[in-house]
């Protein structure tokens, strides 16, 4: 089935889009750009590769979307009040999102994270005023989940626990925004959505909206190949606590990506496309390219969209001070 080239929307008559004046920084969340991947996979005829750049969110990652939705929904139904502290487990990006949103809305935030998360994430979250609580680094994100559950069970009146792994507001955020944006940005021509699995919220919510528009859209999830891996933010589902919001039966396919392949693709995205992104983005692009190559081998066209969750700066370690 042939596909016409996806075109960018036209600018206004003056040549620029009008700039909105916002009441709150929270209004910046979403409406992130979709960019054509032009060099990687350029040899594949009839296949278009696109990446949704989620680091354009104010907190620098895709996690701004579910964090804001979970907080808004909890404020609306009374589960979150001004006298409670938002607490959740996080490997970094969701913590940054909670931190800046809490500061913007004048809400207290406490974060439980593995002690070995990058210094950049610790500095960013604490800069917004969040309280940091460290869990055993050897237990990874699952250890942080267990620790936050202990704290909430011990003092339930003090905390509001969004629980990003079980909260249906997480995929709902992507159902309401990410999926709708991708459909509009591709002019309804998207054929495949390829996305990494962390909490599962992004792939589930976005996929549901896209399939609501067209059942022909294929939903492909990406996970690390190895239980012990270097693709921060992604879960190896067979050996992890499976998030309650994750429904593997809704997927059309799941791809396993090695750490080396994900890291190598991160280098390619930087050097060939000018996209300085994290390693989970590299893994997602490996998956997207794999689908593109398959379509090319079969002589079929397609519009493949993947999602790049964040920028690489969040993973940088500051140099040690000279003594």
- List pLDDT tens digits, range 223-248: 999 998 989 889 899 988 899 999 99
The pLDDT score that the predictor gives to residue 243 is 92
Query: Each residue of 87-96: pLDDT tens digit?
Result: 998 868 899 9
For a pLDDT cut of 70, what percent of the chain falls above it? 92
Query: Each residue of 265-311: pLDDT tens digit?
Result: 999 999 999 999 999 999 999 999 999 999 999 989 999 999 999 99
Does 25-60+177-315 match 72-160 in CATH topology? yes
The pLDDT score that the predictor gives to residue 15 is 47
The pLDDT score that the predictor gives to residue 7 is 67
Catalytic residues: 63, 280
CATH class of 72-160: alpha beta
Confidence of residue 119 (pLDDT cuts 50, 70, 90): confident
HEC readout, the chain: CCCCCCCCCCCCCCCCCCCCCCCCHHHHCCCCCEEEECCCCCCCCCEEEEEEEHHHCCCCECCHHHHHHHHHHHHHHCCCCCCCEEEEECCCHHHHHHHHHHHHHCCEEEEEEECCCCHHHHHHHHHCCCEEEEECHHHHHHHHHHHHHHHHHHCCCCEECCCCCCCCHHHHHHHHHHHHHHHHHCCCCCCEEEEECCCCHHHHHHHHHHHHHCCCCEEEEEEECCCCCCCCCCCCHHHCCCCCCCCHHHCCEEEEECHHHHHHHHHHHHHHHCCCECHHHHHHHHHHHHHHHHHHHCCCCEEEEEEECEEHHHHCCCCCCCC
User: What CATH number belongs to 25-60+177-315?
Assistant: 3.40.50.1100
Query: Each residue of 184-203: pLDDT tens digit?
Result: 999 999 999 999 999 999 99
The residue ranges of every structural domain in the chain are 25-60+177-315, 72-160
């Amino acid at each position: 089935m042939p596909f016409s080239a996806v075109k960018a929307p036209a600018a206004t008559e003056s040549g620029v889009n009008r700039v909105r004046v916002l009441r709150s920084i929270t209004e910046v969340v979403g409406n992130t750009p979709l960019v054509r991947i032009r060099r990687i996979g350029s040899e594949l005829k009839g296949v278009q590769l696109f990446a949704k750049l989620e680091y354009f969110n104010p907190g620098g990652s895709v996690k701004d979307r579910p964090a804001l939705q979970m907080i808004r929904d909890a404020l609306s139904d009374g589960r979150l009040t001004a006298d409670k502290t938002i607490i959740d487990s996080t490997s970094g990006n969701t913590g940054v999102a909670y931190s800046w949103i809490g500061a913007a809305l004048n809400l207290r935030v406490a974060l439980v994270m593995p002690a070995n998360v990058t210094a950049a994430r610790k500095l960013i979250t604490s800069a917004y005023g969040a309280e940091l609580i460290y869990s055993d680094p050897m237990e990874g994100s699952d250890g942080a989940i267990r620790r936050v559950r202990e704290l909430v069970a011990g003092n339930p009146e003090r905390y509001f626990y969004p629980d990003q792994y079980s909260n249906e507001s997480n995929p709902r955020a992507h159902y309401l925004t990410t999926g709708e944006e991708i459909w509009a940005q591709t002019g309804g021509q998207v054929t495949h959505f390829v996305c990494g699995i962390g909490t599962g919220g992004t792939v589930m919510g976005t996929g549901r909206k896209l399939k609501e528009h067209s059942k022909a859209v294929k939903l492909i999830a990406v996970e690390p190949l190895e239980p012990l891996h270097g693709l921060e933010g992604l879960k190896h589902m067979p050996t992890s606590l499976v998030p309650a919001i994750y429904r593997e039966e809704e997927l059309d396919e799941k791809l396993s990506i090695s750490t080396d392949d994900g890291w190598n693709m991160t280098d390619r995205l930087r050097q060939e496309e000018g996209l300085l992104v994290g390693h989970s983005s590299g893994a997602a692009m490996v998956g997207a390219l794999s689908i593109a190559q398959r379509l090319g081998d079969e002589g079929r066209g397609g519009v493949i969209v993947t999602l790049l969750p964040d920028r690489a700066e969040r993973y940088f370690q500051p140099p040690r001070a000279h003594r």
